[in-house]
Structure 1
């Protein structure tokens, strides 16, 4: 049930009737006709722009269209008032039974709020994809939460979603990891580790060194690097991936697919992707222009194998093979995305850190070329997170060596608080994460405020059961909601009615933070009703000696609990049954 879609359908039906009667000309396009909440709630429950968008193509005065439409709408029992405002906007008020129907649907329909927006469409969401060189840091935390919530939101909106992690295990950084692990192996054998500049200094590699000693004893100490590097690289990489999987699990993130960059080399996959582009006339041998601005001293023009990315919106063409014949870092990424296109996805979404902004155009160009413009690639950039505690920047972790880890954040704040707060800003806006504020029990802390609403509802339901009131689903679904139809109670029902529409808006915009905002607004309506009950006993959820009224009021707040649970589920947060 999407009440706004239902009323829009009614508006379109009325417009069709006006066309059939000759009151409107034939051939009008109703695609841009919208039904939305009015900016000012005093103006009504819903508003439509129909007259405004149709006036020009119909060659009619918009107020004339609006007045004719209003008359049609009033014939429907759901519409009690249809008023023309300003140049031709049409404001509507709905019968109270409509809001009661929303409450009953929320209680009876397990799919309330879900959408068929993405039905039949496969989407791949690639996120985190941290280098397998150590534990995840706070920047990865935000990307993991955003990517996971976005995947859940799209699944809730009907898409067939695959969550994917791309392991960057094919570059020089894993050689650095192997050398760093070798120093910890030397340390495990009683030698002083030489953590030179450029190696990873974190204590997290100490267990890897000890595991290497257990496996190899001291047999590698005197061997040249070329003999031990490949095997230690593989062992250390897998150890880091186990750590990363544990980090993700602590945050409640579980991937469907782990893809390896290393697996692209020596398998013909890179060559196949490049040949696909070459066959389309998009690969050539050429020399790039020097970088804009100050030219580096060591720059010299060299012939390279280039991809015509500028034909797909990029600023310049991009090299895929160096002059020495080795692949650039861009080449395996092309092959990886070609593989995703070949797997039949209808849409690709990559979640990148803010420092990858310069990579967006070339990657989108590659996917456009590889899929013949069939598969859109959307790249979401995750801005930085600043951590604070006791009014001061939160210090780095000794275990990590150079940064604050995901585990540090989760251990300090908890997974649920971390996830919710990471979604209180849009992904491309910077985020401050203050440990004191995110754990504060106040209205200013959105995660507390939403969880407190859920705990309060759970408490009321528990007291009702103790009082012998039947609060089963069947009893609440058949409750007389006329007994919970005050202005304050109807305001809660109206906010519930926004949920299905909000889901579609958030999914279309790929903006899971909208879910967090909505939950806060819904919680505010609930707490406001609770507070009014302190002064007006008729608004209290448990009415002495009036079981029917109690059931009606509990039905309303149980519907709130249902929607809160659905929204928190999208965010990956467990609803609180009680506050501690």
Structure 2
């Protein structure tokens, strides 16, 4: 059940009727006609922009359209009134039984809120994709949570979603990792070492060095890189990916696929992708303009193999192969996305850190070229996370040597709190993470406030169960006509927004909207709960009145159903009691 979609269908039917009787001209498109909550709840339950968007193509006064439409709409039994406001906005009020029906739908429909928006289309969400050189840090945490919640949201909205991690194991940073592990390996043999030339000094490599010693003994001691570099590179990458998988598991994240950049080299995959672009006339030999701003001292114009990314909206063409024949960093990324396109995905989403902003246009250009503009690529950037405690910048012990790890955060506050709070801001807005505030038991802490609502519902249900049947099957069949108080209907109206909100969040690739909605739903619930302190008739448990108690419990159990569904999308486990 999607009440907003149902009422929109009534609006469209009414518009068709106006066309049929000659009030409106034929041939109008109703695609932009919307039904949504009014900006001010005092104006009604739902509003439509139909008259405003049809006035120009119909060559009519919008108010005249609105007046005619209002007359048609009130013929529907669910619409109590339809009032024209301003130049032609139309506000509708629905009958109480409609909202009572929403409560019943939430209780009886196991898929309440789920959508067929995606129509089973194959969607790839690539996220995290951190270099396999150490544990995930707090910046990766935000991208991991955002990507995972987005993937779950899209699946909830009817897409066939694949979650993938791209292992950046083809570049020089993995050689640096191997050299760093070799130092720890030497250390495990009792030798003194110095971390120089950008090697990684983090303590997390100590057990890796010991594990290497356990595996090969002293076979690499005193030997040159030509003997051990490749072996240690593979060994270290495997150990780091084990560590990263463990970090992700701590956040309750499980990937469907891990794709190795290294698998693109020496297999012809990069060559095939570039050949595909060349066949389309998009590869040529040329020189790039010097970087904007200060000219580097070592700048020298060199002929390179370039991709015509400007044909697809990029600021400049991009190099894919250097003058010495080596591939640029961009080339394997093109090949990786060529592989995604060839795997048959209908749409792609990449979740990158804020420092990848300059990479967006070229990557979109490549996918547009490779797919003949048939496969859209949306790149979401996650902004930085700043750590605080009691409002003051907070520095934690850094096991990694240079940064705060994902585990440091999760160990402090838990996976559910971490996940929820990481989604309390839009992905491209900076986020402050205060270790004290995210555990604070107050209305200002969204994760607490939502969980508190769920726990209160469980408590009230348990209290009611002491003298009446509040089993789900029973609540699904009872009479809800007594739910007429404005505060009760406010909660029911918020429940009605859930299916619509899911589709809006899925279309915009914005899982934070789920967190916002849950906070608003919890606020409406707590407001109703608090009114019961002064008005006994609003209390959920009415001693001695079974039917009224069951109706009120049905309302709040419907709230709990939606809270569980919303928290499930966010990857948060609800607190049964507090």
TM-score w.r.t. the length of structure 2 is 0.99
Give yes or no for contact 2:129–2:168 (8 Å, CA) kept in 1. yes
Counterpart of 2:442 in structure 1 is 442
1:165 counterpart SS class: strand
| Structure 2 counterparts to residues 320-335 of structure 1, below 5 A | 320-335=320-335
Task: Find the counterpart in structure 2 of residue 565 from structure 1.
Answer: 564
Which shows bigger deviation, 222-231 or 288-297? 288-297
Distance 2:371 2:7 in 1: 39
Matched, 1:412 2:412: yes
Q: Corresponding residue for 2:479?
A: 480
Moved more, 431-440 or 300-309: 300-309
Determine whether 1:223 maps to 2:208: no
Deviations 1:329-360 (A, max 9, x none): 10000000000000000110000000000111
Question: Structure 2: how far apart are the matches of 1:295 and 1:359?
Answer: 21
Corresponding residue for residue 470 of structure 2: 471
- Mapped to 2, the partners of 1:222 and 1:487 lie a distance apart of 80
Q: How far apart, CA to CA, are the structure 1 residues paired with 2:228 and 2:319?
A: 32
Change (3 A) 1:98 1:281: same
Range with greater deviation from structure 2 (446-455 or 384-393): 384-393
| 8 Å Cα contact 1:135-1:247 kept in structure 2 | yes
Structure-2 residue corresponding to 1:245:
245
CA deviations on 1:220-246 (whole Å, 9 max, x unpaired) are 111111110000010000000000000
Give the match for residue 295 of structure 1.
295
Measured in 1, the distance between the counterparts of 2:218 and 2:88 equals 85
- CA drift of 1:87 comes to 1.1
Q: Following TM superposition, by how much is the alpha carbon of 1:321 offset from its aligned partner in structure 2, in angstroms?
A: 0.7
Give, in whole Å, the separation in 1 of the partners of 2:105 and 2:477.
11
Partner of 1:537: 536
Contact 2:81 2:94 in 1 (8 A): yes
Shift of 1:451: 0.3
| Cross-structure match for 2:116 | 116
Distance 2:225 2:480 in 1: 76
Q: Deviations over 1:234-268 (max 9, x none)?
A: 00000000000000000011000000000000100
Matches within 5 A, 1:181-192: 181-192=181-192
Q: Residues of 2 paired with 1:115 and 1:301: CA distance?
A: 54
CA distance in 2, matches of 1:60, 1:360: 44
Q: Contact 1:397/1:405 (CA < 8 Å) preserved in 2?
A: no
For the residues of structure 1 that align with 2:319 and 2:293, how far apart are their CA atoms? 20
- 2:207 counterpart SS class: helix
Query: Judging changes above 3 Å, is the alpha-carbon distance between structure 1 residues 396 and 182 closer, same or farther for their aligned structure 2 residues?
Result: farther
What CA distance in whole angstroms lies between the structure 2 residues aligned with 1:379 and 1:155? 18
Q: Counterpart in 1 of 2:362?
A: 362
Deviations 1:297-348 (CA, angstroms, capped at 9, x unpaired): 1111111111111111111111111111111110000000000000000110
Distance in 2 between residues matched to 1:333 and 1:500, nearest whole Å: 37
Residues 517-536 of structure 1 mapped to structure 2, 5 A cutoff: 517-536=516-535
1:345-382 deviation line (CA, Å, top 9, x unaligned): 01100000000001111100000000011101110001
User: Shift of residue 394 of structure 1?
Assistant: 2.3
> Contact between 2:455 and 2:576, CA under 8 Å: does it hold in 1?
yes
Separation in 2, partners of 1:515, 1:241: 31
* Gap runs ≥5 in structure 2: none
Residue in 2 aligned with 1:24?
24
How far apart are the structure 2 equivalents of 1:479 and 1:553? 11
Q: CA deviation at 1:398?
A: 3.4
Q: Is the 8 A contact 2:390 2:437 kept in 1?
A: no
2:112, 2:391 → 1: CA distance?
42
CA distance in structure 2 between the aligned counterparts of 1:197 and 1:285, rounded to whole angstroms: 35
How far did residue 408 of structure 1 move?
Answer: 0.2
User: Any unmatched runs of 5+ in structure 1?
Assistant: none
Preserved CA contact (<8 Å) 1:203 1:398: no
Deviation sequence 1:188-229 (CA, Å, 0-9, x none): 000012211400010000001101111121221111111100
Where 1:200 maps in the other structure, the secondary structure is coil
**Residues 120, 398 of structure 1: alpha-carbon distance in 2 compared, 3 angstrom cutoff:** closer
Q: SS state of the match for residue 501, structure 1?
A: helix
Task: Give 3-state SS (helix, strand or coil) of 2:83's partner.
Answer: strand
Tell me the CA shift for residue 39 of structure 1.
0.8
Distance 1:49 1:103 in 2: 27
CA distances 1:85-122 after superposition (whole Å, capped 9, x unpaired): 11111111000010000000000001101111111311
* Partner SS for 2:436: helix
**Aligned: 1:548 with 2:525:** no
How far apart, in 2, do the equivalents of 1:397 and 1:198 lie?
A: 21
**What residue in structure 2 maps to residue 341 of structure 1?**
341
Secondary structure at the counterpart of residue 325 of structure 1: coil
Q: Counterpart of 2:575?
A: 576
Determine helix, strand or coil for the equivalent of 1:358.
Answer: helix
Matches within 5 A, 1:128-147: 128-147=128-147
**1:483 offset after TM fit, Å?**
2.0
SS in 2 for 1:551: helix
- Deviation, 1:45, is 0.4
Q: Does the 8 Å CA contact 2:398/2:405 hold for their aligned counterparts? A: no
Q: Retained in 2: the 8 A contact 1:132–1:241?
A: yes
Q: In the alignment, is residue 81 of structure 1 matched against residue 89 of structure 2?
A: no
SS at match of 1:378: strand
Distance 1:398 1:275 in 2: 45
| Cα distance change of structure 1 residues 103 and 213 upon mapping to structure 2, 3 Å threshold | same
For residues 376 and 391 of structure 1, what CA distance do their matches in structure 2 show? 41
The answer to whether 1:179 aligns with 2:161 is no
Q: What secondary structure, in the 3-state scheme, does the structure 2 residue paired with 1:532 have?
A: helix
| 1:391 positional shift | 3.7
Instruction: Provide the rounded CA distance (Å) in 2 between the counterparts of 1:424 and 1:128.
Output: 19
Distance in 2 (CA, whole Å) between partners of 1:177 and 1:127 is 22
Structure 1 position 396, deviation (Å): 4.5
User: Where do 4+ consecutive residues of structure 1 move more than 4 Å?
Assistant: none
